[in-house]
């Protein structure tokens, strides 16, 4: 696992189940959760909200050189995904035919290992997305 | 009385054929495939393990049950390939499906039958007056089964899992569990020692004194207790270490091919160990109609069998999954042995 263990542990809600938040003033969803609504500032009222599990590919790229811990997974796709509530996130795309990974393709969340580089260390789990057939 | 209110299956997309494995070890793949009655096996991807598959199966089960994760009072995960030796898979599953923190959770291990032991535990907890607050319990059988390269088990050891949620509200139950019975002895047919990477087995000894003795012992004991015979059941499903044993044991118990066909899944995805009988049962529930009676018998080396007599309710039609187990099997991509070795971390220099 890369990074600080307590820092990653604090993100379990975000990584496991897309915990974000929502501004009840301007009806904007945020993922990851924000401390302050970027539109309403101090007038905003943020409440915790789970993000939808499906979305659409806005942009994507194929990586042929991955960062540390992902060397054995290349080539793989990452994409900016717009969820059904308009919140956007960046995710790896798995289990999907190359030809189907396009702008506008519908995708759904899956639960995968994100990092497992130290055989004696903790495993980091989290979200990835796959194309909906 | 406790019954099944939801079930979910997860089978990874990758498949490797028996013939491809045989090609690497210069064996007769066609003959092995025919002898085992297994065409191909499901292989977990590089970033999948018994825990990720458990979460996927659990999410499907929760969705079908029509409850929220936080309503689950118990989660048990049965596996012989838990990602950690110490640190529960069950707590990761609980967090991932929103069941934390008010629940009891634990990992179970009894070779291929820990998931059905968990089903019995959930039934008992749901039916017990204490704790009163516990309404629902979920048991998961999941494995990324290990097979030593060039061992007979490598042709069948596969990946997959299934989750079952028990509840006691009549309006939610899709299948009542009328009774359960277990048959357990100390039989050293298959084992994996602490820190050992692959299990070892006792060859032919794994047949008669192990699989057949326990499956038959549990099936007969169960049928005697409920005063039923093979002909009284619409379906039967047995643990499936390969595609041959469950057919043989069915014949020995006077079940017909028609009764076991719907639950016979190993020929298409291999032996998913803790998931094996539970995936077969899910396939039967996909097709069963109201009032169908099912005999389900698991088997775990070491050794023991759990038997269940199940009767579906009128809710089974209303709660059907959009995608059946057999339709899920069709979502596949074939990989060669090199890719398989990478996915299952069999390359030691990685």
Tell me which residues of chain B have a pLDDT lower than 50. Answer: none
Q: At what angle do helices B276-287 and B114-127 cross, to 10 degrees?
A: 60
DSSP annotation of B13 reads S
Question: Is B350 in contact with A94 (Cβ distance < 8 A)?
Answer: no
B350 interfacial to chain A (CB closer than 8 Å): yes
User: H or E stretch including B22?
Assistant: helix B18-24
Q: Which CATH number fits domain B3-173+320-343: 3.10.20.30, 3.40.47.10, 1.20.120.1200, 3.20.20.70?
A: 3.40.47.10
A10 interfacial to chain B (CB closer than 8 Å): no
Residue (of B127, B197, B200, B201) closest to B168 by Cα position? B127
Question: Is B49 in contact with A73 (Cβ distance < 8 A)?
Answer: no
ipTM reported for the complex, 2 dp: 0.95
Residues 6+ apart with CB under 8 A from B169: B5, B135
pLDDT at B338: 96
Both tokens of B268, joined, read 């298409």
Whether B3-173+320-343 and B175-318 share one fold: the answer is yes
| Residue with token string 């609980």 | B94
For A94-120, the pLDDT digits (tens) are 999 999 999 999 999 999 999 998 889
Superfamily of chain region B175-318 = Thiolase/Chalcone synthase (3.40.47.10)
Residues of B classed as catalytic: 80, 112, 239
pLDDT at A2: 61
Domain A1-16+53-133: give its CATH code: 2.40.50.840
Question: Is A113 in contact with B49 (Cβ distance < 8 A)?
Answer: yes
Tell whether the model's pLDDT for residue A69 goes beyond 70: yes
CA–CA min distance B313, chain A (Å): 31
So where are chain B's domains? 3-173+320-343, 175-318
DSSP annotation of B276 reads H
A19 interfacial to chain B (CB closer than 8 Å): no
B46 interfacial to chain A (CB closer than 8 Å): yes
For B58-107, the pLDDT digits (tens) are 999 999 999 999 999 999 999 999 999 999 999 999 999 999 999 999 99
Question: Is B98 in contact with A17 (Cβ distance < 8 A)?
Answer: yes
């Amino acid at each position: 696992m890369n990074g600080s263990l307590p820092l990653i542990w604090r993100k379990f809600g975000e990584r496991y189940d897309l915990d974000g938040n929502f501004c009840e003033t301007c009806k904007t969803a945020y993922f990851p959760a924000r401390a302050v609504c970027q539109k309403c500032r101090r007038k905003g009222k943020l409440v915790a909200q789970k993000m939808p599990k499906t979305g659409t590919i806005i942009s994507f790229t194929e990586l042929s050189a991955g960062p540390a811990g992902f060397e054995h997974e290349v080539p793989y796709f990452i994409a900016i995904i717009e969820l059904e509530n308009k919140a956007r996130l960046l995710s790896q795309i798995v289990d999907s035919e190359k030809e189907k990974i396009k702008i506008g393709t519908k995708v759904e969340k899956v639960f995968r290992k994100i990092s497992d580089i130290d055989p004696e260390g903790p495993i980091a789990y989290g979200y990835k997305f796959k194309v909906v057939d | 009385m406790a019954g099944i209110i939801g079930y979910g299956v997860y089978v990874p997309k990758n498949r490797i054929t028996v013939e491809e494995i045989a090609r690497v070890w210069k064996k007769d793949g066609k003959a092995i495939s025919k002898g085992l009655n297994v065409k191909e096996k499901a292989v977990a991807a590089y970033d999948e393990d018994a825990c990720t598959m458990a979460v996927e199966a659990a999410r499907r089960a929760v969705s079908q049950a029509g409850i929220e994760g936080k309503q689950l009072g118990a989660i048990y995960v049965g596996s012989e390939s838990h990602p950690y030796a110490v640190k529960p898979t069950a707590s990761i599953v609980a967090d991932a499906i929103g069941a934390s923190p008010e629940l009891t959770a634990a990992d179970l291990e009894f070779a291929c039958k820990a998931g059905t032991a968990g089903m019995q535990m959930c039934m008992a907890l749901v039916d017990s007056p204490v704790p009163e607050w516990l309404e629902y319990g979920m048991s998961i059988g999941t494995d990324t089964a290990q097979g030593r390269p060039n061992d007979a088990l490598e042709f069948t050891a596969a990946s997959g899992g299934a989750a079952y949620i028990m509840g006691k509200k009549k309006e939610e139950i899709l299948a009542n569990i009328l009774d359960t019975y277990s048959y357990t002895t100390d039989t050293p047919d298959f084992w994996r020692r602490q820190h050992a990477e692959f299990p070892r087995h006792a060859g032919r000894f794994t047949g008669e004194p192990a699989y057949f003795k326990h499956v038959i012992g549990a099936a007969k004991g169960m049928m005697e207790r409920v005063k039923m015979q093979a002909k009284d059941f619409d379906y039967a499903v047995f643990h499936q270490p390969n595609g041959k044993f469950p057919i043989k044991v069915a014949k020995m118990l006077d079940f017909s091919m028609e009764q076991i066909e719907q639950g016979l899944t190993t020929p298409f995805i291999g032996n998913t160990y803790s998931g094996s009988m539970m995936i077969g049962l899910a396939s039967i529930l996909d097709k069963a109609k109201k009032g169908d009676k099912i005999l389900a018998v698991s088997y775990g080396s070491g050794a023991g069998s759990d038997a269940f007599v199940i009767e579906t309710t009128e809710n089974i039609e209303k709660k059907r999954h959009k995608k059946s187990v057999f339709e899920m099997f069709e979502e596949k991509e074939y990989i060669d042995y090199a890719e398989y070795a990478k996915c299952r971390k069999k390359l030691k220099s990685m």
